[in-house]
Amino acid sequence: AQSVTQLGSHVSVSEGALVLLRCNYSSSVPPYLFWYVQYPNQGLQLLLKYTTGATLVKGINGFEAEFKKSETSFHLTKPSAHMSDAAEYFCAVSDPGGYQKVTFGTGTKLQVIP
């Protein structure tokens, strides 16, 4: 079964500082990995995804993540935090191939301090 673990339920950064949200996965097959963002009282939005190919993937709003098989990690980064980045971020995993169910991590709430 696929699963993801997000380290840190709450992360605080100063505006302009590096954002690093950690995600480790467990999978018996090469997984597909995702980061979703949820702004307060809004639905989920896909930030980025890794399926195959280049291990460094770039997403919307300046975020990127790197798939590291040796570390079973898919950490999310952004060089410079903006106030509008304050939200909850979910790492997620699925089996390879289309139409598969997606399993979510417990989420990390990002606070950006002015």
Residues that bind other proteins (CB under 8 A): 32, 34, 36, 43-44, 46, 49, 51, 90, 92, 94, 97-107
CA separation for the pair 68, 109 (Å, rounded): 23
User: Closest distance between other proteins and the C-beta of residue 3, in Å?
Assistant: 12
How many Cβ atoms sit within 10 Å of the Cβ of residue 90?
A: 22
User: Closest distance between other proteins and the C-beta of residue 60, in Å?
Assistant: 12
CA proximity to 51, closest of 74, 70, 21:
74
Beta strand pairing status for 73-78 and 19-26? antiparallel
The residue among 18 and 46 lying less far from other proteins, judged by its C-beta, is 46
CA separation for the pair 86, 101 (Å, rounded): 27
User: Closest distance between other proteins and the C-beta of residue 10, in Å?
Assistant: 11
The residue among 17 and 44 lying less far from other proteins, judged by its C-beta, is 44
Beta strand pairing status for 10-14 and 108-113? parallel
User: Closest distance between other proteins and the C-beta of residue 6, in Å?
Assistant: 9
The residue among 17 and 109 lying less far from other proteins, judged by its C-beta, is 109
The residue among 14 and 55 lying less far from other proteins, judged by its C-beta, is 55
